[in-house]
Amino acid sequence: MTKRPLLIVSVFFILGILSAASLSNLLNLTQAFTSTLIFILATVISLKFIKISRIFLFLSIISLGALLYLNSNIFPNAHIKYFLGENRISSEIIGIIKSPAETRRVYFGKVGSRYLFQIESIDGLKITGLVLINIKTEKDYQYGDRLLVKGTIKKPPADVIARALRFAQRKLRTEAISEIASSSAKKHGGLLAMTKRKDFNYREYLERQNIFAIISASEKNITLLSHNYNSNPVIRYAYLIRDKIKNQFLEKMPLESGAFLRAILLGDRSELPKKLNESFRNSGTMHILAISGLHVALIAAAFLYFFKLIRLKRKISYALTMLFLVFLMLLTGSSASVVRATVMCIVFLTGILLGRQVDGYNSLGAAALFILIVNPKDIFNIGFQLSFIAVLSMIYLTPKFMLFVKKEWNFYLRKYLLEPFSVSVSATLGTFPFILYYFRMATPIAIISNIFIVPLMFVLMIGGMCFIVFGWIPFMGGFISYFNNALANIIFFLAEFFAGVKFGHFSI
């Protein structure tokens, strides 16, 4: 336990979550709570016997993981989970917007936006719980807006893809369906393969995020009751800044490059063109569209370098950097990858301040514990799994690959070509089985494409941050905008090129 305690604790904590999930029909909260207390007492009593005490300590951690998982599945009687049946119902619903627009797409000529929505009441009955709300509107609602909605509410479908195909079959001829399904399978990385998956359940996927229903409404059936209702001022301020930055990109940059910069800097992919999504997915570089450890590390380095330039004391600069990273986490929506990267950076910087050697495995364990204590069900989130396995693979495999590189070789060759290549291979190998299992898709071209695209993305991120700071200055803003647009288009060209390489990606 002394070498990498947080990693070991996180492994046993995860074992507890998985055990509770697989035995949820046999275990209840009281049993898990009692077991946890017994194992903790046994650990304390047996402290004189190190081996026995350690066994009880591991059992305590496993039991605690199971306890928190079971507790995460308990909801009040007035929760939306218990209110809805299988049928769609029309209702008057009062609730609060809890996120910026997660998606914004055009459906049948009308703009549709999706938000996270906290329900307060349905038809006058006090009902609570998180849901998704789809609104046909061009209006942009804000975090903290309290709405009265007249619309339909239903449980999420178990298999949304199969339902979509069945709907299409009722509307189109069989020949047309075959053609559409065939092209979709090529276009979207194996749509038909996903419909054959018996283990994917869209309803369960949302419930693991504590989302239990979907509301559909049009703008004419929505009444804005108030702004900033019971909103967190820090989160509200973060989203306010997010909106101002977003508008700056919208007003002063072309659509595609502006949407791309919003994705890599703000985690906002709501208006990213479908064609770009497909190019990045098929080239194996989809990860650069989601704020991850790469993005957070670069931003942390930029802050540290800036504070060094203005000669700020190291302790103050590290503390300010950590605060900025937490604010960035809120700004980008606090996804699992951002939280993981932020916690790892904070652990790393804290270790340096305390004069201790920082261990990558320990930092990863700390990040996993932080996320899973808040929501144990995140262990089943695909993004969480891919994020952690990618980092774990890079930490473990990259040094192994670099052992084959001789020290007398050219420094620049080792530093700027072979090391990035090793990192790319490590992440690809680690995530390959997960991507193959979940998406029935393999992207071997990712090993090569990441070497070219990721460094350019770093430069573009710096350019994007400069645009945020100096974009309001007429001449300088125009120059930075031109530079960012040109660089973004080079990235788009490379993504499309690698996506088109024969056998570079394939579906199973």
Q: What is the pLDDT of residues 333-363, one digit of tens each?
A: 777 677 877 887 888 788 777 777 778 888 8
Exposure pattern of 256-288 as b/e (b: 16+ CB <10 Å)?
bbbbbbbbbbbbbbbbbeeebebbbbbbbbbbb
Number of CB atoms found within 10 A of residue 233's CB:
9
Confidence of residue 40 (pLDDT cuts 50, 70, 90): very high
- pLDDT, residue 166, reads 45
Q: How far is CA 252 from CA 247, 258, 485, in A?
A: 8, 8, 11
- pLDDT, residue 288, reads 78
| Residue 229 DSSP code | T
192: pLDDT strictly greater than 50: no
Q: Considering the domain 80-158+201-231, what is its CATH architecture?
A: Beta Barrel (2.40)
Q: Which of 21, 26, 5 is nearest to 66 (CA)?
A: 21
Q: What is the pLDDT of residues 107-139, one digit of tens each?
A: 556 678 889 999 999 998 999 999 999 998 878
- pLDDT, residue 108, reads 59
Q: What is the pLDDT of residues 365-401, one digit of tens each?
A: 888 898 899 889 989 888 788 878 888 888 888 888 8
Confidence of residue 184 (pLDDT cuts 50, 70, 90): very low
Q: Which of 277, 214, 250 is nearest to 499 (CA)?
A: 277
d(CA 8, CA 31): 24
Exposure pattern of 181-214 as b/e (b: 16+ CB <10 Å)?
eeebbeebbbbbebbebeebbbbebbbbebbbbb
315: pLDDT strictly greater than 90: no
- pLDDT, residue 18, reads 94
Q: How far is CA 192 from CA 21, 69, 165, in A?
A: 29, 33, 10
- pLDDT, residue 264, reads 84
Non-local (6+) Cβ contacts of 345 within 8 A are 296, 297, 300, 322, 325
Non-local (6+) Cβ contacts of 293 within 8 A are 337, 340, 341, 344, 387, 391
- pLDDT, residue 162, reads 46
Q: Which of 332, 336, 335, 340 is nearest to 265 (CA)?
A: 332
What global pTM score does this model have? 0.77
Non-local (6+) Cβ contacts of 48 within 8 A are none
- pLDDT, residue 416, reads 67
d(CA 31, CA 25): 12
Q: What is the mean pLDDT of the chain?
A: 82
132 with 211: CB under 8 angstroms? yes
SS (H, E, C) 284-302: CCHHHHCCCHHHHHHHHHH
Non-local (6+) Cβ contacts of 250 within 8 A are 258
92: pLDDT strictly greater than 90: yes
Q: Which of 451, 428, 430 is nearest to 505 (CA)?
A: 428
298 with 305: CB under 8 angstroms? no
- Note every long-range contact of 39-43, with CB atoms under 8 Å and residues 24 or more positions apart, other chains counting: 39/63
Confidence of residue 23 (pLDDT cuts 50, 70, 90): confident
- Residue 411, CB-side half-sphere exposure with 13 Å CA sphere: 0
